[in-house]
Structure 1
């Protein structure tokens, strides 16, 4: 079809929330036994900044320049079930509570993440949902990793594989959209 017809239909779906409804339908029956969380930086194109809105458009300054960060929750089969966007300077642990609260349920047995999520607040959030925390402690921590389930931690490659699959798409690998809603859709 004509590019403007496609764009207007895409924009209509974005504004009415059809993309989010579609995502909820697709992820309705996810395997919630294990949940994997992680974040990945996406370089923002130089023309993606400067949107004419006063809202937070999830583009931040970091060492590498303008960037956004995708925070992803993946189920036990490696399928993405929840995505959050933030500026590139936002640390992964700042979005962890939002990710956990939005996806964890009473069937979840473990939440697996890397050392960037090593925080007593995050562990407490996981424990309040009656799930096991599989997060290794940082090297400068006084506690140890003796009780860590290393098999589950090795399965964390599922979230890395999901990022690798998503970043095959040009529109996700580099952020060209000025608006957060457009990029999220």
Structure 2
């Protein structure tokens, strides 16, 4: 039993919203509920989010796209390498989140309880 956590953070790496997915689902499945109703100027993500529909959605919103491109993309988008370096903030958030054993081990069996634990841990992380 595995669970993926898709997270949306602000520019400082603080949790804004997250979405849980079964471990065998592709990440882009959870992006729509993650970004629904949230406004932002720039999206900064890794290759898992390099999807045509995400790129089209961001273009419609007028959002700057900083997504690492998959090698098989026919028309790669040029990205700002200096801004892409800031993606480490989301990785740092996940590293801090996984310091909590209950999150790392997925000790809660229901999504509701696991989500509550993520919220609680994120509150502790933000208070540091």
TM-score (norm 1): 0.59
Question: In the comparison of the two structures, how many residue pairs are matched?
Answer: 116
Show structure 2 runs of 5+ residues with no match: 117-128
1:71-86 aligned within 5 A: 71-86=6-21
Matched, 1:132 2:67: no
Show structure 1 runs of 5+ residues with no match: 1-65
**Larger Rg computed on CA atoms:** 1
1:131-179 Cα distance to aligned partner (Å, 9 max, x none): 111112211222234x211111111000000000000001111112221
Higher relative contact order (CA 8 A, sep 6+): 1
1:43-71 Cα distance to aligned partner (Å, 9 max, x none): xxxxxxxxxxxxxxxxxxxxxxx211111
Give the equivalent residue in structure 2 for 1:112: 44
Query: In 1, are the aligned partners of 2:67 and 2:79 still within 8 Å (CA)?
Result: yes
Moved over 4 A (4+): none
Q: CA RMSD in A?
A: 1.3
TM-score (norm 2): 0.84
Structure with the higher helix share, 1 or 2: 2
